[in-house]
Chains A and B, each alone.
Chain A
Amino acid sequence: MKLTKIMKGVLAAASIAVVGSFAQAQQAGGSLVFLVQPEPPTMAGYVSTSGPIGLLGPKIYDGLVDYDNDGKMVPMLAESVDVSPDGKTITFNLRKGVTWHDGEAFTSEDVQFTIMDVLKKVHPRGPNSFKEVSSIDTPDAHTAVFNLDNPAPYMLRALSSYESPMVPKHHLEGQDVKTAKLANNPIGTGPFKFVEWKKGQYMRLDKNENYWREGRPYLDRIVGRFVPDASTRAAAMEKGEVLYAAYNAVSNVEAVRLNKEKDNIGLTTDGYSMINPMALLEFNTKEGPFTDAAVRRAISTAIDRQYMIDTIFFGYGKPATSALSSNFSATGLHAKMPNYPANGDVAAANKILDDAGYARDGNGVRMKGMFDLIPYGEDWKRGGQYIQQVLGEIGIQVELRYEDVPTWLKRVYHNYDFEMNLNYFYQLSDPVLGVHRHYGTNMIRKGTHFVNSSRYSNPELDALLSAGMTTPDATKRAGIYLDIQKILANDMPVVNLFELEFLVVYNTKLKGAYGSAMGAYASFGDAYLD
């Protein structure tokens, strides 16, 4: 398979786009102040995938490639990519004349070091994404050859600046990568240079005058502001003090109001397709009341997903129809499954429980359980209350529990001291990256967060998951994932609820910062103020 041609096509398209955009005469200059919520712990995007790091990191660091809205690769630090016919050798031809913000040249050694010594070792998802990469050769300064043990088609979807930022070898080599000073003084090749971080206030990035893209970035400065209170964030947006907010920095209720009341405030749900957030219920399949798959199927059948989306999330979301997000339809992997009625079917759910022999007692209760809620705010509390009510209708009485983040993480992922848990997962750009971790037997890892906390283990599924990882052929792969979805729709260790649609709220003065696949996690090199 030769991807070079595809990339060249994209390149040509990109250059046409560049010509076209110059015709519109973008204005250079100005400061973009936007909301970053919450304040990131550090700026080490190569160690942590913490959301707020993603909002600022990709402005400073570049990836090898970027992705357009169809999920196709767009050249960044790599001008083209060649994949060998057996899928085991991938050659990245790197851009020439790129320098780090400190003036040093960017070379293939940086790529080798970033993948082998940083991402593969300390990145939370890197060991998975680059699992098959056994070594990287650097025949010259602008060529990096990845040698793979097995084909890994998903790897090519994990190369964005958010997922796999390229970091400077000369600032990390010979040090403990996790404690290196680079974490608080990021130096990348991206369109903006790190200037200062005032804890509790803002992070300031100034234009990189030596950026490799001619004429970019347009903006002189990007400032990420940290405002802890949700109402104040909305007020700052309303007043125009900040021009952009993503990932619920401005809540849906305020976003919809601002959009209605103010002419200069726009909304979009674009920019989250590579992230693919999915709201879901995790079940303890080893102990407690939900060890029987029939009960879990009944719960999935009873919940009115569309109602949850409409009343709690202001209509932003899509009912889940299988273990995979419908965004995977683009790669042919998603298929609609039974036991996922969009509007809920309480009668059918009751029938499942009756058939399984769960009788109601004098109060109409079949079973009791504890229901933990993800401690990420009011929307999730309300979601929990709705589910509690629906489960009451099918004779499952649950008590809600809402704790703080560390306590909740410890309970679910260390102690397995839970029965049912409301949560959301990023399914990311490929099931291997975002979905496998929820179901594989090898992903039952005590103490690791956001993996298989249900402790569901099915050898048949495990075999399919491994096949899904190493099968490059698209049709064969679709067949494998069809089987995977069938098994999961029956066993339901996890019940997917709905695909979250986060909003981006923006001031119309800001252009060119939305509409890309990476959304808020993009570089903003094309953003400008009107």
Chain B
Amino acid sequence: MNRSSKIIRYVSRRLIQGIPIILAIVVLNFFLLNLAEGDAVDVLAGEAGSATPEYMEEMRKKFGLDKPLPVQLAVYLKNVIQLDLGYSFRHDMQVTELIIDRFWPTLILMVSTILLAVGFGVLLGLFAAINLNTWKDSMVSVFALITYATPLFWVGLMMIILFSIKNDWFPTSGMENSAMFYEGFERVKDIAHHLVLPTITLSLFYLALYTRMMRASMLEQYGQDYVITARAKGVSERRITFVHVLRNALLPVVTMAGVQVGALIGGSVIVESVFAWPGLGMLAFESLFARDLNLLLGIFLLSSALVVAVNLVVDVIYCFLDPRIEVN
């Protein structure tokens, strides 16, 4: 069997295995979320001021919250299998619609952050490893330590003060200019302009992680036997570093990036909040406090599916980075 058909078989098997995992996550989340006191009706009625008990009972009935938990779960699972994520009573909208609406901003922020963090992290780690134990190496280490240790919200606020208020370079928050409402290419430029500060803030943290990981990984590979063999053959240091060591050193970094895609969806709540970026993290955060369980379950479902998918992609990337790794 050739390699590509092997990969296809492997991918489809993994996808089928992913389904029970995702369903298990849904069931677990369902019960965990129902442990919280109060429900969506309480919050809605609380915000509305005074509401009569009859009114609240009626709402519970309408939302299906009056049924016993196992029945609610069965109804939910039945809908999920039919790819219907249900209805958000708080927003009066389909959950799928809400999530897709907020998925694009998250995706834009996530992709740009990963590219920036992994890209610069790999470069800096490489730079530090090549200049091991020189002042350049120390500079990189100190930089990584500081960015890793600084709280995200503080970095975000400082960015706003420095680059938005003191210097009028970037907008403070939001995804686009809501006084102008640009269209077409102007809108793309506007969104990119709004994207700069949140992306830098969010990547700084991950950048530190990748830098340190890349540096350690490079150093580990330098000590391997194959490097000595290559040197003995008379391969240039440049070729050893960029062709042999770099490719091997990238494996753990790619693994890490795969794991963090899932974390980025939830982990960007702080950045989304500080920069009013309309992503999924903020939606999940708000729906928790509103006890909007349908919506929350939908977001969890999406992020678990995403983690399963990304891990699969990472496994496939392995095969290309290291031809010795085979799928079967």
* Chain A residues close to B by CB (< 8 Å): 31, 33, 38-39, 41-42, 47-51, 122, 124-125, 127-128, 178-179, 183-184, 198-202, 204, 221, 223, 225-229, 231-232, 235-236, 238-239, 241, 403-407, 409-411, 413-414, 426, 437, 445-451
Pairs of residues from A and B, 5 with the lowest C-beta to C-beta distance, nearest first:
A406-B38, A200-B278, A48-B48, A50-B47, A227-B276
* Chain B residues close to A by CB (< 8 Å): 36-39, 42-53, 55-56, 59, 62, 90-93, 98, 101-102, 105, 153, 157, 160-161, 164-165, 168, 171-176, 178-181, 272-276, 278-279, 282-283, 286, 289-291
Q: Which residues of A contact B53 (CB under 8 A)?
A: 445-448
Say yes or no: A42-B92 contact (C-beta < 8 A), given A406-B43, A407-B36, A449-B50. Answer: yes
Say yes or no: A231-B157 contact (C-beta < 8 A), given A33-B178, A407-B38. Answer: yes
Q: Are B273 and A229 in contact (CB under 8 A)?
A: yes
Instruction: Tell me the complex Cα distance, A414–B276, Å.
Output: 34
Say yes or no: A41-B290 contact (C-beta < 8 A), given A125-B50, A183-B92. Answer: yes
Closest B residue, CB atoms, query A48: B48
Candidate in A128, A445, A448 with the most chain B CB atoms within 10 angstroms? A448
Q: List 25 A-B contacts (CB under 8 A).
A: A39-B286, A48-B44, A179-B92, A184-B92, A199-B98, A223-B179, A228-B272, A228-B282, A228-B286, A229-B276, A232-B172, A232-B273, A235-B157, A239-B171, A241-B172, A403-B37, A407-B38, A437-B50, A445-B52, A448-B53, A449-B46, A449-B48, A449-B51, A450-B46, A451-B50
Instruction: Tell me the complex Cα distance, A404–B291, Å.
Output: 11
Closest A residue, CB atoms, query B50: A124
Q: Are A127 and B52 in contact (CB under 8 A)?
A: yes
Q: Are B38 and A199 in contact (CB under 8 A)?
A: no
- Shortest distance in angstroms between B210's beta carbon and chain A's nearest beta carbon? 27
Closest B residue, CB atoms, query A32: B179
Q: Are A450 and B49 in contact (CB under 8 A)?
A: yes
Say yes or no: A232-B52 contact (C-beta < 8 A), given A199-B98, A406-B39, A410-B42. Answer: no
- Shortest distance in angstroms between A418's beta carbon and chain B's nearest beta carbon? 13
Q: Which residues of A contact B160 (CB under 8 A)?
A: 231-232, 235
Q: Are A201 and B174 in contact (CB under 8 A)?
A: yes
Q: Which residues of B contact A404 (CB under 8 A)?
A: 289
Instruction: Tell me the complex Cα distance, A33–B173, Å.
Output: 13
Say yes or no: A239-B48 contact (C-beta < 8 A), given A200-B278, A446-B53. Answer: no
- Shortest distance in angstroms between B85's beta carbon and chain A's nearest beta carbon? 16
Say yes or no: A235-B173 contact (C-beta < 8 A), given A199-B91, A228-B282, A405-B289. Answer: yes
Closest A residue, CB atoms, query B93: A184
Closest B residue, CB atoms, query A228: B273
Q: Which residues of B contact A229 (CB under 8 A)?
A: 153, 173, 273-276
Q: Which residues of B contact A449 (CB under 8 A)?
A: 42, 45-46, 48-51
Q: Are A227 and B174 in contact (CB under 8 A)?
A: yes
Contacting A241 at CB < 8 Å: which of B37, B171, B286? B171
- Shortest distance in angstroms between B162's beta carbon and chain A's nearest beta carbon? 11
Q: Are B47 and A41 in contact (CB under 8 A)?
A: yes
Q: Which residues of B contact A239 (CB under 8 A)?
A: 164-165, 168, 171-172
Q: Are A200 and B178 in contact (CB under 8 A)?
A: no
Instruction: Tell me the complex Cα distance, A199–B94, Å.
Output: 13
Q: Which residues of B contact A232 (CB under 8 A)?
A: 157, 160, 172-173, 273-276
Q: Are A200 and B172 in contact (CB under 8 A)?
A: no
Instruction: Tell me the complex Cα distance, A405–B286, Å.
Output: 12
Q: Are B289 and A448 in contact (CB under 8 A)?
A: no
Q: Which residues of B contact A183 (CB under 8 A)?
A: 92
Q: Which residues of A contact B46 (CB under 8 A)?
A: 405-406, 409, 413, 449-450
Q: Which residues of A contact B171 (CB under 8 A)?
A: 239, 241
Q: Which residues of B contact A407 (CB under 8 A)?
A: 36-38
Instruction: Tell me the complex Cα distance, A31–B177, Å.
Output: 11
- Shortest distance in angstroms between A36's beta carbon and chain B's nearest beta carbon? 11
Instruction: Tell me the complex Cα distance, A122–B56, Å.
Output: 11
Q: Are B289 and A41 in contact (CB under 8 A)?
A: no
Contacting B47 at CB < 8 Å: which of A48, A200, A204? A48
Contacting B276 at CB < 8 Å: which of A178, A225, A426? A225
Q: Which residues of B contact A38 (CB under 8 A)?
A: 286
Closest A residue, CB atoms, query B290: A41
Q: Are B178 and A223 in contact (CB under 8 A)?
A: yes
Q: Which residues of A contact B50 (CB under 8 A)?
A: 124-125, 128, 437, 448-451
Q: Which residues of A contact B37 (CB under 8 A)?
A: 403, 406-407, 410-411
Instruction: Tell me the complex Cα distance, A445–B179, Å.
Output: 45
Q: Are A409 and B275 in contact (CB under 8 A)?
A: no
Q: Are A200 and B279 in contact (CB under 8 A)?
A: yes
Q: Which residues of A contact B274 (CB under 8 A)?
A: 229, 231-232
Q: Are B91 and A42 in contact (CB under 8 A)?
A: yes
Q: Are A200 and B43 in contact (CB under 8 A)?
A: no
Q: Are B48 and A49 in contact (CB under 8 A)?
A: yes
Q: Are A236 and B172 in contact (CB under 8 A)?
A: yes
Q: Are B173 and A227 in contact (CB under 8 A)?
A: yes
Contacting B48 at CB < 8 Å: which of A124, A128, A200, A413? A124
Instruction: Tell me the complex Cα distance, A128–B179, Å.
Output: 40
Contacting B59 at CB < 8 Å: which of A124, A178, A236, A238? A178
Candidate in A49, A183, A184, A405 with the most chain B CB atoms within 10 angstroms? A405
Q: Which residues of B contact A413 (CB under 8 A)?
A: 46
Q: Are B44 and A201 in contact (CB under 8 A)?
A: no
Q: Are A201 and B47 in contact (CB under 8 A)?
A: no
Q: Are B51 and A235 in contact (CB under 8 A)?
A: no
- Shortest distance in angstroms between A45's beta carbon and chain B's nearest beta carbon? 10
- Shortest distance in angstroms between B230's beta carbon and chain A's nearest beta carbon? 52
